[in-house]
Amino acid sequence: MPVLLAIALHAEARPVIERFRLKQDASSGLPVFRRDEVWLTVTGTGSMKSAIATACLLSRLLNRVERDEDTVLFNLGIAGHTLKAEEGPVSVGDRFLANKITERSTGRSYFPDLLARTPLAESVVTTVERPLDRADAGTVEPGLVDMEAAGFYQAAATFLPPHRIGCVKVVSDHLETRRLDKNRVSELIAGTLDEFEAAVEAYRSIDDGEPDVLTDADLQLVGDIRDRLRLTASRHRMLSDLARSYKLHTGSDLPDLTRFTHVSVNTRQEGDAQFERLRGILSVE
Amino acid sequence: MRNLSDFGASSRWSNFSHLYIEHGAKEYPLTRRIRERFAKARVVEIDDYKTVFARPRQKFQAQKESMKLILAVKKDRFLYDGSGNSQDFSLEDFHYNTLTFNCVYNCDYCYLQGMYPSANIVVFVNLEDYFIATREGIRGRSNPAQPFYLCISYDTDLLAFESVVPYCRAWIEFAREEPDLLIEIRTKSAAYRAIRDLPSTDRVILAWTLSPELVASRYEHGTASLRRRLEAVRSAIDDGWPVRLCFDPVLAVPSWASLYGDLVEEVVQRIDPAEVHDVTVGVFRLSKHHYQRMRRQRKDTPLLYSEFAQEDTTVTYPAERREEMTAFMRKRLGDHFGEERIFAWT
Ligand code: SF4
């Protein structure tokens, strides 16, 4: 079950790499770190870079897995907050899960689907093209301000359902334009990793809610028969549905169909005849 | 990675954990009421409900276990013409409206799974605009000798949601002021108590969909049991409401004839047929488009993997099976209710 992480800065990624003991993956042109099922890419700063690196990672990985139902993808990073330091309940180090991501340049908003219950508070995140000054805090919806979330989300949503995309931000400042020390950035991220990990785990526990009565072995068998009988895509679909119908209506496992993985067919007519035999065996009406 | 249980949290949000509220919907009384009702819900402000409701790649059944509420203002289309998949009761002006999108229940055969991109519930809060459009519809109806017939619980189960969105109540009061209006409120709930304090009116037909208990418990998730539906029917009749009994959809489940035959017997034992306004019957049917989309998502219910035939754009059981089932139901019901009060979809 792949867990993919898109993180803008090395300083943000470092504690995550250490925590999950990830190793650099030299086979990629991008900075990618991985171990087992966890993949992390360092995207660089800005919406566009985040989108490109996220899309690259996803297209590389989703091609590999037959079913992508288990993949979850997170963006993790620091962000400013529109509240003044002395104004309210938000302090540096607080962390939030984005429930709305607005791209300031277009005015468009995106909404990760919040099915998984996490220990994190939630906030709106506005993505800007360049750091926002304190004086301009009133020009965006109250909440977090970052430079990647909107690009990240748009790329991610091209591949994944919205309940498997998460964006977690740690408050690093109150929009004072001072450069943050790298070690401080790493510290802020490190301080959020328990909750972040819990959020990832919660996301991983939610499936797509589309269970299939056919097991992986059943699907493999149906696939083998397709290859053997050289079935068209639509015949393959029909065969899968006949197999489903059989299991759903009889409540039993599929009958033994292995002989259909050994037959040889030379003409279309022969293939059709075999298919009709299959249909007869699987028919429950 | 460690287990979530280490953090003492359950991994899925309960229903209505989040309210998505259009800016334009914020000041409506219903919005305020719902915010109070779900005071702990996290509120997300949105420009237009479609930006949440119509996101690509949403998973309907995953969302069904954590439905969110989206409060919106409907801009247009306050009335639709009744579809050919419904009985029209020989009424020329047959319409329905969509006061909400989606339903709190989750029937295996529900076509909403194939119709909407999301399982989240949209509630349109601008009720007054629906009333205005309905008044215009009534005035402009094609046959003034007949009432303007309006189903308000057509693509949903409005009564089941009455404790959150008290729209049945509002429409019953509206119907009292409109002598040429006839409303149908159809439900699989036992929530009649939510409107029981209202005096009955013959401008509102309360309709209960009835299914064999085995079908209800296995395929109509979240709905009231047959017994509780019949108790609600009993109460509504006692209070003077016109009540419609809907044997629709009739499903070709194993032993369907004995299941549905027993259902009719049970109903007439508990409810005096003479007190029932009318009865509808129809076998399972849905549009081809919805059927295809549902099959892609639902690979776990036998109801969608039966033998079907396509007629024009409707998918239903093959003609012979359909006629057999309809004739069976007509006969069984006709023995008690008389043919003239039975409206069948064929
Ligand atoms: S009660 Fe009706 S609208 Fe609701 S889920 Fe069942 S079939 Fe769908």
Q: What are phi and psi of A245, to 5 degrees?
A: -55, -45
**Looking at residue B328, what is its pLDDT?**
98
β-pairing verdict for A95-103 and A38-42: unpaired
**Looking at residue B8, what is its pLDDT?**
44
Residue A164 with chain B: CB contacts under 8 Å: none
> Structure pTM?
0.94
Give the dihedral of Cα atoms B51, B53, B57, B59; nearest 10 deg: 150
Continuous H helices in B82-161: 112-115, 127-139
Question: What is the CATH number for B73?
Answer: 3.80.30.30
Into which CATH architecture does domain A3-204 fall? 3-Layer(aba) Sandwich (3.40)
**Looking at residue B83, what is its pLDDT?**
73
Lowest mean pLDDT, pick from A25-34, A240-249, B195-204 = A25-34
**Looking at residue A178, what is its pLDDT?**
73
Please give the Cα distance from A279 to A243 (Å, whole number): 9
For residue A61, name the pLDDT band (cuts at 50, 70, 90).
confident
Residue B9 gets which letter from DSSP?
-
Contacts of B251 (CB under 8 A, 6+ apart): B109, B211, B215, B219, B283, B284, B303
**Looking at residue B88, what is its pLDDT?**
74
Please give the Cα distance from B195 to A1 (Å, whole number): 49
* Section A143-149 average pLDDT: 98
- A109/B46 Cβ within 8 A: yes
Nearest CA in chain A to B299: A212
Burial class (CB within 10 angstroms; exposed 0-12, middle 13-18, buried 19+) of A264: exposed
Please give the Cα distance from B230 to B189 (Å, whole number): 10
Six-digit token string for A105: 């340049």
Six-digit token string for A240: 């899968």
**Looking at residue A14, what is its pLDDT?**
98
- With beta carbons less than 8 A apart as the criterion, state whether B210 and B245 touch: yes
CA–CA distances in Å: residue A249 to residues B18, B273, B286, B319, B322: 38, 35, 21, 21, 19
Q: Could you give the percent of chain A with pLDDT greater than 90?
A: 84
Is any ligand 1 atom within 6 A of the Cβ of residue B251?
no
**Looking at residue A87, what is its pLDDT?**
80
Please give the Cα distance from A170 to A187 (Å, whole number): 11
Distance from residue B149's CA to the centre of ligand 1 (Å): 21
Identify the CA nearest to A172 among candidates A2, A8, A1: A8
Q: Which atom of ligand 1 is nearest to the CA of B156?
A: 3
Please give the Cα distance from B302 to B310 (Å, whole number): 18
- B6/A249 Cβ within 8 A: no
β-pairing verdict for A72-81 and A121-127: unpaired
First-to-last CA distance in chain A? 39
For residue A197, name the pLDDT band (cuts at 50, 70, 90).
very high
**Looking at residue B4, what is its pLDDT?**
39
* Section A178-205 average pLDDT: 95
Residue B300 with chain A: CB contacts under 8 Å: 210-213, 248
**Looking at residue B346, what is its pLDDT?**
81
* Section A244-266 average pLDDT: 93
Is any ligand 1 atom within 6 A of the Cβ of residue B229?
no
pLDDT greater than 70 at residue A68: no
Show the domain range for B150.
4-345
Helical axes A182-190 vs A10-19, angle rounded to 10°: 40
- A212/B61 Cβ within 8 A: no
**Looking at residue B91, what is its pLDDT?**
86
- Identify which of B63, B96, B110, B304 to mutate to test ligand 1's pocket (most ligand atoms within 8 A of the CB): B110
Q: What are phi and psi of B61, to 5 degrees?
A: -75, -30
Q: Which residues of B touch A (CB under 8 A)?
A: 1-4, 6-7, 9-13, 17-18, 20, 42, 44-47, 51-52, 55-66, 68, 254, 295, 297-302, 305-307
Q: What are phi and psi of B29, to 5 degrees?
A: -55, -40
Please give the Cα distance from B114 to A153 (Å, whole number): 26
β-pairing verdict for B243-250 and B278-283: parallel
pLDDT tens track, chain B, 346 positions: 544 344 444 689 999 999 999 999 999 999 999 999 999 999 999 999 999 999 999 999 999 999 999 999 999 999 999 876 777 778 889 999 999 999 999 999 999 999 999 999 999 999 999 999 999 999 999 999 999 999 999 999 999 999 999 999 999 999 999 999 999 999 999 999 999 999 999 999 999 999 999 999 999 999 999 999 999 999 999 999 999 999 999 999 999 999 999 999 999 999 999 999 999 999 999 999 999 999 999 999 999 999 999 999 999 999 999 999 999 999 999 999 999 999 998 8
More confident residue, A211 or B88: A211
Please give the Cα distance from B257 to A59 (Å, whole number): 52
Of B10, B47, B57, Cβ closest to residue A160 = B57
Q: Which atom of ligand 1 is nearest to the CA of B111?
A: 8
For residue A285, name the pLDDT band (cuts at 50, 70, 90).
low
SS (H, E, C) chain A: CCEEEEECCHHHHHHHHHHCCCEECCCCCCCEEEECCEEEEECCCCHHHHHHHHHHHHHHHHCCCCCCCCCEEEEEEEEEECCCCCCCCCCCCCEEEEEEEEECCCCCEECCCCCECCCCEEEEEEECCCCCCHHHHHHCCCCEEECCHHHHHHHHHCCCCHHHEEEEEEEEECCCCCCCCHHHHHHHHHCCHHHHHHHHHHHHCCCCCCCECCCHHHHHHHHHHHHHHCCCHHHHHHHHHHHHHHHHHHCCCCCCCHHHHCCCCCCHHHHHHHHHHHHHHHCCC
Q: What are phi and psi of B112, to 5 degrees?
A: -60, -30
First-to-last CA distance in chain B? 57
Of B7, B59, B306, Cβ closest to residue A198 = B7
Six-digit token string for B277: 């306004």
Residue extents of the structural domains in chain A? 3-204, 216-282
How many Å separate Cα B175 from the centre of its chain? 19
Six-digit token string for A43: 């995207």
Domain count, chain B: 1
**Looking at residue A284, what is its pLDDT?**
82
Is any ligand 1 atom within 6 A of the Cβ of residue B156?
yes
How many Å separate Cα B286 from the centre of its chain? 14
- DSSP of B191-252: GGGGGTTSPP-TTEEEEEE---HHHHHHHEETPPPHHHHHHHHHHHHHTT--EEEEEEEE--
- With beta carbons less than 8 A apart as the criterion, state whether A39 and A57 touch: yes
Longest dimension (CA), chain A: 80
Of B6, B62, B295, Cβ closest to residue A206 = B62
Please give the Cα distance from A171 to A98 (Å, whole number): 12
CA–CA distances in Å: residue A81 to residues A90, A104, A148, A150: 8, 15, 15, 16
Q: What are phi and psi of B101, to 5 degrees?
A: -105, 135
Please give the Cα distance from B124 to B99 (Å, whole number): 6
A209 in reach of chain B (CB within 8 A): yes
